[in-house]
Amino acid sequence: MQTGFAYTRFAARLANISQLSDADLELLARMPFRIDHFASHETILRKGDQPDHCCLLLQGYLCWREAGCEGGQITSLYVVGDMPDLYTVDSPQVAASLSTLGPVVVASVPHLFLRETASLSSGLSRAFSRLAIADAALLRNWIINLGSRDSLTRVAHLVCETAWRLRAVGHARDDQFPSPFTQSDLAAACGISAVHANRIIQELRRRRLLNWRSRMVTVTDWEGLIQLARFDPDYLRLPGLNGAAHVLSSPHATAERTAHVRMPP
């Protein structure tokens, strides 16, 4: 299972958003890759690079950020199973920095393999397209977050989104998960100052919505948080939207949540 680990993660992510045939899975199982480790706040790709492989995230968090490091606006966040630079297959020129938030393990997959599988299987080709589309949906949501919410709701919304995505890949237990962000990173993600990010977190604590201690986020009041953020997981297009019940652990939480979260008519 050790060698199949990368394949498993990727196949699971793809199956999340598109039907895969057995033949598709067999193709994916032959995926060649190399394992790489990175420390916290390292830069994997920089502006101008033209990589010939993609990064499949196996452990930790990655983000695209403007400029080199520290402080540059973060434009998107990736969790285990994601492939942040999938687009480089079709357009290798990189226009920002792909950086780690905390320690990270990635599988490097050659462009060649991805191009060939896409040309061999229309199912996989469509799955790749949908991965890109899902990515764009996240970007639009990030824009809405920055453009139309105050900082408290921005942070709350980001916490909700992260929790949902982690749960979808089975990486958030009960009501807690490892935070992708240091407070400065959170600030860079939400377009606020680091000092203000701190005060926002304190306010969330004060309202007894969550705890955020030493890189671990513990949500103590899901309904409150979701309501504050007006979080609607619809845009994530994750399986378990209709079956969202099994995503959240505590039954009473899910019952209350479906009551609060407005689904489109």
Q: Which residues bind its own copies (CB under 8 A)?
A: 47-48, 64, 66, 72-76, 87, 90-91, 93, 95-96, 119, 122, 126, 129-130, 132-133, 135-137, 139-140, 142-144, 146-148, 190-191, 234-235, 237, 264
Closest distance between its own copies and the C-beta of residue 51, in Å? 14
Closest distance between DNA and the C-beta of residue 210, in Å? 12
Candidates 19-27, 138-146, 176-184, 251-259; binding stretch for DNA (CB under 7 A): 176-184
Residue selected from 115, 130, 196, 237 as contacting DNA according to rule CB under 7 A:
196
- For residue 182, the partner it binds in its own copies, DNA, none, with Cβ less than 5 to 8 A by kind, is DNA
Whole-angstrom distance, CA of residue 10 vs CA of residue 202 = 37
- For residue 137, the partner it binds in its own copies, DNA, none, with Cβ less than 5 to 8 A by kind, is its own copies
Asked whether the beta carbons of 118 and 80 are under 8 A apart, the reply is: no
- For residue 255, the partner it binds in its own copies, DNA, none, with Cβ less than 5 to 8 A by kind, is none
Closest distance between its own copies and the C-beta of residue 239, in Å? 14
Would you call 213 exposed, middle or buried from its count of C-beta atoms within 10 A (0-12, 13-18, 19+)? Answer: exposed
Residue 192 interacting with DNA (CB under 7 A): yes
Residue 201 interacting with DNA (CB under 7 A): yes
Query: Within its chain, how far is the Cα of 200 from the centroid?
Result: 22
Whole-angstrom distance, CA of residue 143 vs CA of residue 237 = 17
- For residue 96, the partner it binds in DNA, its own copies, none, with Cβ less than 5 to 8 A by kind, is its own copies
Site string for DNA, 144-173 (x = CB under 7 A): ------xxx---------------------
Closest CB to DNA among residues 8, 198: 198
CA distances to 3, 12, 82, 93, 117 from 112, rounded to whole Å, are: 20, 21, 19, 16, 9
Residue 108 interacting with DNA (CB under 7 A): no
Closest CB to DNA among residues 37, 252: 37
Positions touching DNA (CB under 7 A) are: 40-41, 150-152, 182-184, 191-196, 198-199, 201-202, 214-215
